[in-house]
Amino acid sequence: MPIPTTDQINSFLRHVYTATATAVSVLAMVGLSQGNTTAIGDAVHKIGDGIASIVAGVGILVPVASGLWAAWSASPFSRLIGMKQNPEIAQVLAVPGTPTAKLADEIPGNKITVAQ
């Protein structure tokens, strides 16, 4: 699910604030004191601001997480694991004495091995 844009968040909050203002007005007409209605409105506004802050924070973390995932998936070890799981690849032989050979030794099984 894509992260909502700032405009989408603001639109959502406008609807929440409008509904809250309507409910608070009705409650004030039926007998709730002005102080209580103001407190309810302020509380809802603070909740909305908190939601906006959380979404903004998650929006900042998504590129960081994407970068970490990209770095992992581009690593030689991850690529070797991907080849091991690919049913179209029968065997991968690594050249002895190379960094890939060291990685191949760490992968269990005989699909990813070091050439003899």
Per-residue pLDDT for the chain (116 aa), expressed as one digit of tens each?
A: 577 777 788 888 888 888 888 887 777 777 777 788 788 878 888 888 888 888 888 878 888 888 898 998 888 889 899 999 999 999 989 999 999 899 888 888 888 889 88
Alpha-carbon distances, residue 57 vs 23, 51, 62, 64, 79 (angstroms): 30, 10, 9, 11, 31
The DSSP output letter for 111 is S
Q: What whole-number distance in Å separates Cα of residue 30 and Cα of residue 36?
A: 13
Global pTM value: 0.47
Other CB atoms within 10 Å distance of the CB of residue 44: 18
Q: What is the pLDDT of residue 96?
A: 93
